[in-house]
């Protein structure tokens, strides 16, 4: 069987050659004795003289006939007349009918050979592609000349580092754990928002343990041809076993390991690949120094078989960095950048709430690009500030000549409402910047309101957040009238609507502590959400009317200066409140 498998290409080519030769030989013998041709007029003359003995009719262009005297066979044109056979019979000619068997056989044979040849070539090509993909399934990052990544290259993520510390010890000395009968997790699932450092953490685990790192994306296993993905999985684990130790990292595993259906619209290739992965992970021996690390942004979509003990039985969340971690990340990425004196990393860390590690790196990179454009040799506070606000709202629109004065006024009152509500509702909120300069992303202006870092939000704080969202529309209504409100508050209303819905159905802040979405009908939820939204909108409007002097001053200053920082806003509000 091995020899047949080895020479199957030669055998297939030989079979095609033999089939073609058979068709050509058959065609040769079929056409070898083709009779001579006689003009149709001469045929009619011989028919009238009674010298035609027999005629063989068919569907072809010619008919065969024989003479009575010599018996020789000739061909002539087929008149294809309906009364031709009757004419022959009345003349006493023997008439026979036959199809074009030889021609049909040749055409059929050629068709069969061509179709078989095309199918064979496609199958061999697909087979070659399958073999090629199976032999080169992944990029193996185990170059000894490459500097490994370690925990010193990762700022923050202290909890994650601690969670995987025993795994690193296991990768270094799997025999030590085997002596105590300890079984380390075969798989670790890193999950969290995009850009939090899941891939970097997996690479650092391999670097800390000093083992090879095998990186692959889940989409690399999902192929068009059935069986290719499973073959790549087997080849991946085979390479890892050859090294005895290592970290196999599968990024975006949800592309491969989504929950399997109930038989409807089943993807055979995906299921075969997932089954191969489950089988390979189950086949690890207890003392094998190999750990599979997977990353996903959506752990809720993964198949349950992946998450059971023996597979990915340890789940570690890689969350957004807190203020201390953000400062460490910023300091790490600023090491190779010429920072000017006076750049305050503490302030930048406070301002970048909800930024991921990747966003922080991108912010400093954009700041470095801004500095390179100036060409003064250092990266200053203005470069970082420009990059920060570009990341939040987009780049400033340079040509503002098309913006009408009335639209500037609407934007000024709208953003003043946000800034005033944020300052008055919660003193812990910090307004960093208010501007009416439109951005390239389509915003007419924006107000940056930085909340304090906290683990939980109270019911009051969530209501205050909703009021800040409503404040822009309220300010427009107060100054320009209810008939002249604009579409500028559409995004604010979307945010407020989502927050109101979560207030009632997710956090249990409504009339019932239970989840109303599961226990009540939709109409009851809608009624409670509408009542809450109306109440908070009325409170916001009353708050701005009570502090109309501060609102008016903020709008006037924005129209004059276009941009106010947090200190300017605070001074205006305090002065207006005191008077």
User: How far is the C-alpha of 429 from the C-alpha of 539, rounded, in Å?
Assistant: 18
Residue 554 to residues 175, 396, 517, 540, Cα–Cα distance (Å) = 69, 21, 41, 17
Percent share of the chain, pLDDT over 70: 78
Buried b (16+ CB within 10 A) or exposed e, 198-222: bbbbbbbbbbbbebbbbbbbbebbb
In angstroms, the CA 177 to CA 91 distance is 107
Place 261 in a pLDDT band, splitting at 50, 70 and 90: low
* pTM of the model as a whole: 0.69
Question: Residue 146's pLDDT band (boundaries 50, 70, 90)?
Answer: low
How many H helices and E strands in the chain? Answer: 23, 14
- Answer yes or no: is pLDDT of 493 > 60: yes
DSSP-H helix ranges across 138-257: 158-163, 165-172, 174-179, 198-209, 228-242
Band of residue 89 on the pLDDT scale cut at 50, 70, 90: confident
Angle (deg, nearest 10), helices 490-505 and 459-480: 150
Average pLDDT over residues 135-141: 45
Question: By C-alpha distance, which of 489, 498, 424, 490 is closest to 466?
Answer: 498
DSSP category for residue 52: E
Report residue 377 as tokens. 């040799």
Is pLDDT above 60 for 167? Answer: yes
User: If you average pLDDT over each of 75-89, 184-198, 213-227, 406-420, which comes out highest?
Assistant: 406-420
The string of DSSP letters for 230-275 reads: HHHHHHHHHHHHHTSEEEEEEETGGGTSBPP-SSTT--HHHHHHHH
Contact call for residues 210 and 243 (beta carbons, < 8 A): no
- pLDDT tens profile 293-350: 999 998 888 888 888 887 888 899 998 898 999 999 999 999 889 988 888 899 899 8
Q: CA-to-CA distance for 87 and 55, rounded, in angstroms?
A: 11
Mean pLDDT of the chain: 80
Question: Which residues on adjacent β-strands are paired with residue 192?
Answer: none
Position 35 scores a pLDDT of 78
Instruction: Identify the pLDDT of residue 123.
Output: 56
Report whether pLDDT(136) > 80. no
Among 251-255, 385-389, 404-408, 482-486, the range with the most confident prediction by mean pLDDT is 482-486
Of 85-99, 290-304, 525-539, minimum mean pLDDT range: 85-99
| Catalytic residue numbers, as ranges | 415
Q: Find the helix packing angle between 566-578 and 405-425, rounded to 10°.
A: 80
């Amino acid at each position: 069987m091995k020899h047949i498998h080895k020479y199957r290409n030669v055998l297939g080519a030989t079979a095609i050659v033999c089939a073609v030769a058979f068709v050509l030989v058959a065609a040769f013998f079929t056409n070898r004795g083709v009779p001579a041709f006689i003009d149709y007029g001469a045929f009619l003359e011989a028919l009238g003289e009674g010298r035609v003995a027999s005629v063989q009719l068919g569907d072809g262009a010619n008919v065969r006939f024989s003479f009575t005297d010599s018996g020789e066979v000739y061909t002539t044109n087929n008149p294809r007349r309906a009364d031709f056979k009757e004419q022959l019979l009345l003349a006493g000619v023997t008439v026979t009918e036959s199809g074009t068997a030889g021609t049909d056989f040749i055409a059929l044979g050629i068709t069969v050979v061509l179709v078989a040849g095309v199918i064979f070539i496609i199958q061999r090509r697909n087979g070659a592609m399958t073999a090629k993909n199976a032999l080169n399934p992944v990029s193996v990052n185990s170059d000894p000349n490459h500097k490994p990544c370690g925990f010193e290259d990762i700022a923050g993520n202290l909890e994650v580092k601690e969670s995987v510390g025993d795994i690193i010890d296991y990768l270094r000395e799997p025999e030590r754990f085997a002596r105590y009968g300890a079984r380390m997790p075969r798989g670790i699932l890193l999950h969290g928002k995009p850009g939090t450092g899941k891939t970097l953490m997996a690479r650092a685990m391999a670097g800390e343990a000093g083992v090879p790192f095998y990186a692959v994306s889940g989409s690399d296993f999902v192929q068009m041809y059935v069986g290719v993905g499973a073959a790549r999985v087997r080849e991946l684990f085979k390479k890892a076993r050859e090294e005895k130790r290592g970290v196999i990292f599968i990024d975006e595993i949800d592309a491969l390991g989504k929950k399997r259906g109930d038989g409807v619209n089943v993807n055979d290739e995906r299921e075969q690949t997932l089954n191969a992965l489950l089988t390979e992970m189950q086949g690890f021996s207890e003392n094998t120094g190999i750990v599979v690390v997977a990353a996903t942004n959506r752990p809720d979509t993964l198949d349950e078989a992946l998450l059971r003990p023996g597979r990915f039985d340890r789940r570690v969340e890689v969350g957004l960095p807190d203020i201390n971690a953000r400062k460490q990340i910023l300091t790490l990425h600023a090491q190779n950048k010429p920072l000017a004196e006076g750049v305050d990393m503490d302030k930048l860390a406070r301002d970048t709430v909800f930024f991921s590690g990747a966003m922080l790196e991108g912010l400093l990179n954009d700041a470095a690009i801004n500095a390179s454009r100036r060409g003064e040799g250092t990266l200053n506070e203005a470069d970082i500030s420009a990059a920060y606000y570009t990341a939040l709202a987009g780049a400033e629109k340079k040509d503002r000549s098309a913006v009408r004065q009335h639209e500037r006024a609407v934007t000024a009152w709208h953003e003043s409402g946000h800034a005033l509500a944020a300052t008055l509702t919660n003193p812990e909120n910090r307004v960093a910047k208010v501007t009416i300069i439109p951005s390239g992303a389509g915003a007419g202006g924006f107000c940056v309101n930085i909340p304090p870092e906290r683990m939980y939000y109270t019911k009051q704080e969530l209501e205050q957040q909703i009021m800040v969202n409503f404040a822009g529309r309220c300010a427009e209504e107060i100054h320009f009238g209810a008939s002249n409100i604009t579409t500028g508050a559409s995004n604010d209303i979307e945010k407020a609507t989502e927050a109101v819905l979560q207030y009632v159905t997710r956090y249990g802040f409504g009339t019932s502590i239970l989840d109303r979405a599961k226990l009540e009908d939709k109409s009851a939820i809608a009624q409670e959400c509408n009542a809450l939204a109306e109440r908070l909108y009325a409170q916001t409007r009353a708050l701005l009317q009570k502090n109309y002097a501060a609102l008016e001053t903020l709008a006037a200053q924005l129209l004059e200066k276009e941009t106010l920082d947090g200190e300017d806003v605070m001074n205006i509000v305090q002065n207006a409140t005191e008077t």
